[in-house]
A and B are shown apart, each in its own frame.
Chain A
Amino acid sequence: MITLRDVSKTYRTDKVETLALKDIDLHVARGEFVAMMGPSGCGKSTLLNLIGLLDRPGRGTVEIDGVPVARQGDRDLARLRNRAFGFIFQSFHLIPDLRVIDNVELPLLYRTMRGGERRRLARAALEKVGLGARMEHYPNQLSGGQQQRVAIARAIVGQPQILLADEPTGNLDSRMGAEVIDILQRLNDEGTTIVMVTHDEAEARRVGRIVRLFDGQLVQPEHAHAA
């Protein structure tokens, strides 16, 4: 459902030009769980941002469900980000001044929905990640793993079709990291398409298809061993 054709992206900062991505052709089908790997600075986060419509490519086209996003205005992009995608970041990006339940229902505030309905969906999302008991707490009262689970709950509360995770286990220890991958696996089994950037080779092998990047370009894609 996501197709990238001939995508390139250059960053220009203070007269220094960095070519982040070059001639990327990528297709992610519905229901896939794709892991993107590569050394630091190879452009995997940039690629994820492009897929998630957080950024526009310098050259090439990005298509969601066959519809190119290049011609879409800010309003339509925002709607897509709200309904089609869910984001999970390495540094969680929870709002520390809000309770867990308020953080989770944040995406729903940008839809027209009644307060009661929002609460219901937020509570359901939290139950799904196993944090139903922590609704009234504040992020700084939770451990790293719990915070990331809250972030996942926030990403799935709007029932998006695609989840994009940028090194979700980067700031967690191995046990908490494994828990997070379990949750993602479960979501994928239920039909959510997931694109995950990761450093961890073992994690990548667990999930499915691996896409490798090096210096902004794709290396030959591999498929995971049959589970």
Chain B
Amino acid sequence: MLRHLLRLTWQRKSRHLMLSLEILLAFVVVFAIAAGALRYWQLYRAPVGFDGTDTWSVSMRMADLPPEAIPPDTYDRFLRALRELPEVRAAGFATLAPYTLSTWTGDFVAPQTGARINANRMEASDGAAAALGITLAAGRWFDASDEGQAIVPAVLDRRMAAALFPGRPALGQRFDSAETGERRTYRVVGLVDTFRNKGPFMTPVNFVLTRFAPHTSASRVREILVKVAPGTPRAFEAKLNDRLRLVRNDWSYEIAPLPALRASLLKQELAPLVVLAVIAAFMLAMVAFGLFGVLWQNTTRRIPEFGLRRAIGARAGDVYRQIVFEQLLLGTGAMAVGLLLLVQLPLTGALGETLNWSVFAGAAALSMAVIYLLSFVCALYPGWRASRLDPAAALHYE
């Protein structure tokens, strides 16, 4: 019976071409959503490399001043002022605030091979690790013993360590930055497992964290990271603001708890996925309409054939099953073509890590399930109608 239906569907394939195209299109769209959602899920479950639960970030808004215009002891004064507040547990400075879309990249040279490796970078002060809750996998964070050193200490994430020093332990090694003009040497003092400053949905990248020292660096660091006691109310912000203004009242301060920044960033990043999901829902509705309508039409046109099958001994259930099965077969054909096209993506690595095999497999399974379910539901009513037909009337159907 299976071969018979296969043969039947194959013979009629040209008639079903347009419908197959529609199913193919819908399958691809659902696949894109499923893959996106699964990838986001994958990324979300991986660690970010820091714990920002009780950390607040303060963005210092200053005019367009050259870096030299900020006296170095400003930062010390900030730290002293912050430590006076009883709610503050730790404070540090950084060039990037977590959960904001800032990126700073640079090229570095791998000492053995001489290859240029690109990495995201961030400058952070000695107190930043405590403020952010960064736990080190090996080595140590920056501290006062690094003050005054010509070679700047750096902390790498595992990816960067593997890229710069393949096959060798990275701790204690030196490497250079590859920027034109500013050839700097760094020394690895610690390693972290991972660091994803833009939050759980960020693709893992190479990361280099270097030490910020106000008296020696020429960088302009605008972010203060403050770890507060658990349960500090949001109203603490007013007090914090006043304290900071005591140090520099010509600057303005944007204060936000990291969890709030995280929530709004997550919302922002999920927005495109949501839009895509709405479009996909629309397409599925269209395909459902089309499937149902065409199936209805086809079944009506084939009433004499079904009458014949009943006359030679098919049960009502046989006709019903035949219609549903033919529809699923059609869907399978379209999806097979779709999978053939889509499997090129992970094979050629066109989308890189974003579409790895586990995401592909999950998305394929999910989208196939959706399309099969859709086909099944659309076949239910026409199939039911066709199977209830009276064989005599069906045979003489005009």
Q: Are A and B direct contacts in the complex by CB distance below 8 Å?
A: yes
Name A residues whose Cβ lies closer than 8 Å to a Cβ of B: 46, 49, 52, 54-55, 74-75, 78-79, 81-83, 86-87, 89, 93, 95, 97-98, 102, 106-107, 109-111, 115, 154, 158
- Decide yes or no whether B77 CB sits under 8 A from chain A: no
The answer to whether the Cβ of B243 comes within 8 Å of any Cβ in the partner chain is no
Q: A55-B392, A89-B395, A95-B305 are known contacts. Are A107 and B8 too (CB-CB below 8 A)?
A: no
CB distance from A79 to the nearest CB of B (A): 7
B394: nearest residue on chain A (CB-CB)? Answer: A54
Q: Are A87 and B316 in contact (CB under 8 A)?
A: no
Q: Mark B232-252, 1 if CB is under 8 A from A, else 0.
A: 000000000000000000000
B7 and A110: CB pair below 8 A?
A: no
Partner of A97, one of B8, B314, B390: B8
Residue contact A74 to B315, C-beta cutoff 8 Å? yes
What is the CA–CA distance of A49 and B307 in the complex, to the nearest angstrom? 12
Report the nearest B residue to A115, measured CB to CB.
Answer: B3
Closest chain B residue to A78, Cβ basis: B315
* A110–B314 touching, CB < 8 Å: yes
* Nearest-neighbor residue (CB-CB) of A154 within chain B: B312
Q: Please tell me which one of the listed residues A54, A82, A98 contacts residue B391 in the complex, with CB atoms under 8 A apart.
A: A54
Closest residue on chain B to residue A164 by CB atoms:
B311
CA distance A78 to B318 in the complex (A): 10
Residue of B nearest to A96 (CB): B11
Contact pick for B308, options A74, A83, A93, A109, CB 8 Å = A93
Asked if B63 is an interface residue, CB under 8 A from chain A, the answer is: no
Distance from B299 Cβ to chain A, minimum over Cβ atoms (Å): 15
**CB contact under 8 A between A52 and B8, given known A95-B305, A109-B1:** no
A55-B392, A98-B11 as given contacts; A110 in contact with B313, CB under 8 Å: yes
How many positions in chain B have a CB within 8 Å of any CB in the partner chain?
A: 24
Q: With A and B bound together, what is the CA distance between A97 and B307 in angstroms? A: 16
Q: How far is the CA of A115 from the CA of B310 in the complex (A)?
A: 21
In angstroms, Cα B314 to Cα A95, docked, is 15
A106 surroundings in chain B (CB, below 8 A) = 4, 309, 312
User: A107–B314 Cα gap in the complex (Å)?
Assistant: 8
- B residues within 8 A CB of A115? 3
**Known pairs A106-B309, A109-B4; A93 contacts B390 (CB<8 A):** no
The residue from A54, A74, A82, A109 contacting B392, defined by CB atoms under 8 A apart: A54
Inter-chain contacts of A54 with B (CB < 8 A)? 310-311, 390-392, 395
8 other A-B residue contacts (CB within 8 Å) besides A52-B311, A95-B305, A110-B312: A54-B310, A54-B391, A78-B318, A82-B313, A86-B312, A93-B305, A106-B312, A109-B1
- Pair B7/A75 contact, Cβ less than 8 Å: no
Task: Please report B residues at the A interface, Cβ cutoff 8 Å.
Answer: 1, 3-4, 7-8, 11-12, 304-305, 307-316, 318, 390-392, 395
Residues of A within 8 A of B309 (CB): 106, 110
The distance from the CB of A209 to the nearest CB of chain B, in whole angstroms, is 24
B336: min CB distance to chain A, Å: 21
CB distance from A53 to the nearest CB of B (A): 9
User: Once the chains are docked, how many angstroms separate the CA of A95 from the CA of B315?
Assistant: 18
Report Cα–Cα, A93/B304, bound state, in Å: 8
Check B313 against A83 for contact (C-beta < 8 Å).
yes
Closest 3 CB pairs between A and B?
A82-B313, A97-B11, A78-B315
Give the residues in chain B near A46, CB-CB below 8 Å.
392
In the bound complex, what is the Cα–Cα distance between A172 and B37 (angstroms)? 64
Q: How far in angstroms is the closest Cβ of chain B from A40?
A: 14
* Contact of A87 with B311 in the complex, beta carbons under 8 Å: yes
Q: Bound state CA distance, A54 and B308, in angstroms?
A: 10
Whether the pair A78, B314 counts as a contact (CB closer than 8 A) is: yes
Nearest A residue (CB) for B316: A74
A74 to B308, CA, bound (A): 15
Q: How far is the CA of A98 from the CA of B11 in the complex (A)?
A: 8
For B314, list chain A residues within 8 Å (CB): 78, 82, 110
CA distance A52 to B391 in the complex (A): 11
Closest residue on chain A to residue B305 by CB atoms: A95
**Complex contact A75–B8 (CB within 8 A):** no
B-chain residues with CB within 8 Å of residue A97 when the two chains form the complex: 8, 11-12
Inter-chain CA distance A146–B354, complex, in Å, is: 61
Closest to A111 in B: B313
> Contact between A87 and B315 (Cβ–Cβ < 8 Å)?
no
Residues A81 and B395 in contact in the complex (CB < 8 Å), given A102-B7, A109-B4, A115-B3: no
- Quick one: which of A86, A87, A89, A98 contacts B7, CB cutoff 8 A? A98
Complex: A46 Cα to B307 Cα, angstroms: 15
Q: CB-CB < 8 A to B307: which residues of A? A: 93
Residue numbers in B under 8 Å from A110 (CB-CB): 309, 312-315, 318
Inter-chain contact B310/A78, CB cutoff 8 Å:
yes
Tell me the complex Cα distance, A107–B391, Å.
15
Chain A residues lying within 8 Å of B308, measured Cβ to Cβ, are: 89, 93, 95
Task: For the complex, give the distance between the alpha carbons of A52 and B12 in Å.
Answer: 31
A contact residues around B312 at 8 Å (CB): 81-82, 86-87, 106-107, 110, 154
Taking CB atoms, residues of chain B closer than 8 Å to A78 are 310, 313-316, 318
**Nearest A residue to B1, CB-CB:** A109
User: Which residues from B are CB-within-8-Å of A83?
Assistant: 313
Q: What is the minimal beta-carbon distance from A9 to any residue of chain B, in angstroms?
A: 10
